Amino acid sequence: MNIVLLGCPGAGKGTQAAVLCEKYGLAHISTGELFRSEIASKSPLGLKVEGFVNKGNLVPDEVVVEIVAGKLESLESGWLLDGFPRTLRQAEELDRYLATSGKRIDFVLLLSVSEEVVIKRLAGRGREDDSDATVRKRLMVFRDLTQPLAAYYRGHGLLQEFDGAPSEDQVSSALTVFLEESAAKSGS
């Protein structure tokens, strides 16, 4: 099973990604986590992306696409992409890559939450890029560049939207019920 998890900053992608990956044995590919660890270790990639990440801007598409393609290349098992794609161009490049490697996305799960809830959640998180101004910037970037992906994947018949506002457990059980019902349908 190959999954793309979409949602604005603070929608709960990281938490839900961890639950689903554990439950279904998927490889968790989080571009945000990857960048944070490269920045912390001051690697050449970390130095290259630090300015973008800390200001709440997106890392250039070509940098991210190359990294994700490299990760997917080495995987035999199913995977879950958390925080990628984030632009239409990334989504198109991902589709091109998957087509050439004979793989596909099975589900795109969108976690929807209001900006009010997000601002409250992120205020308590304390990550380097969670300051007020950066959160606002990241939400703006999401609205302008990432939100259009919902329509893209809806058009491909892959999108399923979930309310991300309830508790973590409630959201995970909604996701799990959906995935299990879909698996049961496709198996019958």
Which residues of the chain form contacts with ligand AMP (CB under 6 A)? Answer: 9, 31-32, 35, 52-53, 56-59, 64, 83-86, 90, 129, 138
Q: Distance (Å, rounded) from C-alpha 41 to C-alpha 29?
A: 18
Q: Which is nearer to ligand AMP, 31 or 172 (CB)?
A: 31
Cα 44 to chain center, whole Å? 24
Smallest distance, ligand AMP to C-beta of residue 52, A:
5
- Give 5 or 159: the residue with its C-beta nearer to ligand AMP: 5
Name the minimum Å distance from CB 170 to ligand AMP. 22
Q: Residue 45 or 182: which CB sits closer to ligand AMP?
A: 45
DSSP string, 122-166: HHTT--TT-SHHHHHHHHHHIIIIITHHHHHHHHTT-EEEEE-SS
| Shortest distance in whole angstroms from residue 34 CB to ligand AMP | 8
Laid out side by side, the sheet with 79-82 consists of: 27-30, 79-82, 2-7, 107-112, 159-163
Nearer to ligand AMP by C-beta: 87 or 172?
87
- Count of Cβ atoms closer than 10 Å to residue 131 Cβ: 15
**Contact predicate 122/135, CB 8 Å:** yes
Question: Token pair 């879909």 is at which residue?
Answer: 182
Least separation, in Å, of the C-beta of 78 and ligand AMP?
Answer: 19
Residue nearest to ligand AMP (CB): 32
Closest to ligand AMP by CB, 12 or 85: 85
* 12 within 8 A of 111, measured Cβ to Cβ: yes
**Shortest Å, Cβ 100 to ligand AMP:** 20
